């Protein structure tokens, strides 16, 4: 489902249903689809696994619907997916992939404990507590340089609609005693260990947040710096798991460079962001001084223009002019506010 509408190709469905189905004997547990994207895998593909513990003795195994193109290339299950399934108590040997029209003798379809955009059920959080990941990772070493104040950086994904200039945040936060964490460089256990041991976590909105869906609670205070207008998705993940959660959403969007894609770049005044972090006690008020960030912002805004401006578009010149004018207006407004 997307925006309340089913993602269903009815013509293709009719063609497939006209075929003779393969028969699958016995009782099986249906667990949904396998998404090849890390964030969507965590947010859409794991929340029925709670039922495996209850029904494993009754079923021959579990059924997943893989991404067909990935499956045909031999990429059935990513390494991180195997690891996450293992943490949830599902062994890979129990999985059967359905890639063609199939009729099953008996199929159990459990309720998902959480869904994309909705908060987790209390019973599902109780299931997560039985995993006791804190104890299981008691001997997992923390990354070198770890501090209980953690900034989860998307520095390596700057050209994927990240807030322009946010790289500059890292220097200021390091001066405030923060450990700058690049989760993609660490194993799943190492990432979970960092989140379990942290006292304060600042995320730039992104897929890394979804790993918290493996935890029933987080002791850290959590701040999310939004880069899209709707913060409810991550609010529903974090709020049930922590006592103190806030999100920063004081940003504007530069004009889109294409009518086909939602590629509007978010921008914000870093001084305002630092004041917000101080107000909510993520940094000391005496250190709420924004770094020199406009150079970083200009670089990101230029790279965004170069990446998304399609020279074949007939309206390109007008869109580029509008974009650059908005950049100029934003930088002038920031300069005026400082004065």
pLDDT at 168: 86
C-beta separation of 195 from 211 below 8 A: yes
Tokens for 20, please give them. 């003779």
Q: How far is CA 153 from CA 150, 198, 206, 234, 295, in A?
A: 9, 15, 9, 16, 18
Place of tokens 């998404």: 35
Task: Spell out the residues 6+ positions from residue 132 whose beta carbon is closer than 8 angstroms to its own.
Answer: none
156 phi and psi angles, rounded to 5 deg: -80, 5
Q: How confident is the model at residue 180 (pLDDT cuts 50, 70, 90)?
A: very high
The sign of the torsion formed by the CA atoms of 116, 119, 123, 124 equals positive
What distance lies between CA 328 and its chain's CA centroid?
A: 31
Give 101-156 pLDDT, tens digit per residue.
999 999 999 999 998 888 899 999 999 999 999 999 999 999 999 999 999 999 88
How far is CA 156 from each of CA 48, 182, 192, rounded to the nearest angstrom?
A: 32, 8, 20
pLDDT at 233: 82
DSSP element (H, E) containing 275: helix 270-279
Residue of 288 and 321 predicted with greater confidence: 321
- pLDDT for the residue numbered 312: 66
Helix (H) / strand (E) element for 253: namely strand 252-253
Q: Give the integer Cα–Cα distance in Å for 61 and 49.
A: 12
More reliable by pLDDT, 85 or 290 = 85
33 phi, psi to nearest 5 deg: -95, 165
Q: How far apart are CA 10 and CA 15, in angstroms?
A: 9
pLDDT number for residue 337: 55
What pTM, to 2 d.p., does this model score? Answer: 0.90
pLDDT of residue 86: 96
Question: Which of 9-18, 279-288, 330-339 has the highest mean predicted lDDT (pLDDT)?
Answer: 9-18
Instruction: State the first-to-last Cα distance of the chain, in angstroms, to the nearest integer.
Output: 48
Mean pLDDT within 46-60: 96
Which carries the bigger pLDDT value, residue 183 or residue 318? 183
Cα–Cα distance, 214 to 192 (Å, whole number): 9
**pLDDT of residue 266 exceeding 80:** yes
CA distances from 101 to 13, 18, 21, 153 (A): 10, 9, 5, 43
């Amino acid at each position: 489902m997307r925006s309340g509408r089913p993602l269903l190709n009815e013509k293709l469905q009719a063609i497939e249903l006209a075929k003779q189905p393969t028969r699958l004997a016995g009782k099986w547990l249906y667990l949904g689809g396998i998404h090849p994207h890390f964030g969507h895998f965590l947010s859409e593909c794991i929340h029925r696994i709670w039922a495996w513990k209850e029904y494993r003795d009754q079923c021959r195994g579990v059924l997943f619907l893989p991404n067909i193109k990935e499956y045909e290339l031999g990429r059935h299950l990513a390494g991180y997916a195997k690891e996450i399934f293992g943490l949830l108590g599902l062994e890979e040997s129990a999985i059967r992939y359905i890639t063609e029209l199939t009729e099953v003798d008996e199929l159990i379809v459990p309720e998902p404990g959480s869904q994309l955009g909705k908060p987790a059920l209390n019973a599902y959080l109780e299931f997560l507590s039985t995993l006791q990941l804190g104890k299981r990772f008691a001997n997992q070493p923390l990354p070198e340089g770890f501090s209980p104040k953690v900034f989860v950086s998307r520095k390596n994904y700057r050209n994927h609609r990240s807030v322009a200039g946010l790289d500059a945040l890292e220097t200021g936060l390091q001066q405030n005693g923060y450990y700058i964490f690049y989760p993609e460089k660490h194993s799943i256990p190492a990432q979970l260990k960092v989140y379990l041991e942290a006292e304060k976590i600042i995320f730039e909105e992104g897929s890394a947040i979804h790993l918290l869906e493996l935890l029933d609670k987080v002791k850290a205070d959590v701040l999310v710096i939004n880069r899209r207008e709707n913060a409810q998705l991550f609010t529903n993940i974090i709020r049930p798991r922590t006592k103190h959660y806030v999100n920063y959403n004081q940003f504007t969007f530069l004009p889109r460079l294409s009518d086909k894609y939602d590629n509007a770049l978010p921008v914000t005044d870093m001084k305002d962001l630092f004041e917000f972090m101080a107000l909510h006690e993520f940094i000391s008020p005496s250190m709420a001084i924004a770094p020199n960030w406009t150079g970083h912002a200009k670089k990101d805004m230029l790279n965004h223009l170069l990446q998304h401006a399609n020279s074949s578009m007939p309206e390109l010149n007008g869109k580029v002019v509008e974009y650059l004018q908005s950049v100029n207006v934003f930088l002038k407004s920031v300069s005026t506010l400082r004065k």
